[in-house]
């Protein structure tokens, strides 16, 4: 392993006990123009943007526009862009690939099986993500350990061979921490959160949840919790 890699590994290990602000500052200092915030504009993501914008006003943000996002999601993107004077970069699905899948399988094929749902996520999310990541050395995400059984072991900084470094500044934050920060700092947020949607993705794959349910129960609600990832955060 190279000396640089050893240095990064040591720095990453030291960040486990650090605050989100310290992790984000390290990320921006270490990766400069080759790190961006990957944002779906949920509650965690707008918190990340607010923290990062306080550290560096020219912070870079990208989003995956699947073509099936809720209007409320586009609304908060517009609000964030205006408040922080940023320009969110959009990455969209390949038109030909999407047309072929829809013509062959129908518009709602993702409901038919886990495999087909993952195929849809592959077209609408993974393809655009690959293009978004092609110029990056690192990306910042809003993952928290509390969110799901698939996320309990995430670290602040995660390395993977041949892939950009993944940075998760909010791993230890609770849902209460997130909302306290939003309210205290007057951060714009997706109004679907006020209507029973704690986790928001494509509108066709997201439903309201009851108070007794897990925060991600409304995502791909017809599947078991163990399969509820689209591939963006596959470990």
pLDDT of amino acid 226: 66
Q: What is the pLDDT of residue 152?
A: 77
Determine which one of 120, 121, 202, 230 is catalytic: 230
Residue 24 to residue 30: CA distance in whole angstroms = 10
211 closest CA partner among 229, 197, 226, 225:
197
- Tokens 């993974």 -> residue: 126
Q: What is the pLDDT of residue 235?
A: 47
pLDDT at 82: 98
Domains of the chain in sequence order: 3-195 (3.40.50.620)
In this predicted structure, what is the pLDDT of residue 199?
86
Q: Any catalytic annotation for residue 230?
A: yes
Q: What pLDDT does residue 146 have?
A: 85
Name the nearest CA neighbour of 137 among 65, 13, 220, 29.
Answer: 29
pLDDT of residue 68: 95
Residues 6+ apart with CB under 8 A from 81: 87, 88
User: In the chain, which stretches have pLDDT less than 50?
Assistant: 1-4, 231, 233, 235
pLDDT at residue 1, as a whole number: 35
- Structural contact between residues 221 and 198, judged by C-beta atoms closer than 8 angstroms: no
Residue 8: what pLDDT? 86
Residues with Cβ within 8 Å of 8's Cβ and at least 6 positions away in sequence, in order, are 30, 159, 165
Taking alpha carbons only, the member of 24, 63, 20 closest to residue 42 is 63
CA distance 203 to 181: 26
Separation CA 26–CA 17 (nearest Å): 13
């Amino acid at each position: 392993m190279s000396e640089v890699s050893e240095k990064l590994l040591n720095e990453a290990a030291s960040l486990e006990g650090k605050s989100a602000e310290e992790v984000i500052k390290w990320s921006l200092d270490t990766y400069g123009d080759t790190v961006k915030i990957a944002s779906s504009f949920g509650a965690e993501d707008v918190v990340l943007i607010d923290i990062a914008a306080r550290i560096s006003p020219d912070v870079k943000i990208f989003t995956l526009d699947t073509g099936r996002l809720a209007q409320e999601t586009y609304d908060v993107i517009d609000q964030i862009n205006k408040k922080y004077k940023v320009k969110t970069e959009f990455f969209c699905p390949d038109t030909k690939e999407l047309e072929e899948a829809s013509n062959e399988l129908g518009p709602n094929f993702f409901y038919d099986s886990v495999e087909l749902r993952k195929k849809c996520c592959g077209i609408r999310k993974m393809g655009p993500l690959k293009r978004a990541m092609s110029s990056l050395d690192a990306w910042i995400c809003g993952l928290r350990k509390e969110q799901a059984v698939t996320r309990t072991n995430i670290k602040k900084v995660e390395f993977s061979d041949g892939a950009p470094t993944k940075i998760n500044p909010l791993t230890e934050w609770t849902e209460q921490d997130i909302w306290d920060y939003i309210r205290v700092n007057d951060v714009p947020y997706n109004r679907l959160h006020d209507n029973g949607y704690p986790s928001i993705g494509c509108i066709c794959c997201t439903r309201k949840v009851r108070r007794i349910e897990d925060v991600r129960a409304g995502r791909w609600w017809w599947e078991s919790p163990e399969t509820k990832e689209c591939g963006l955060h596959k470990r």
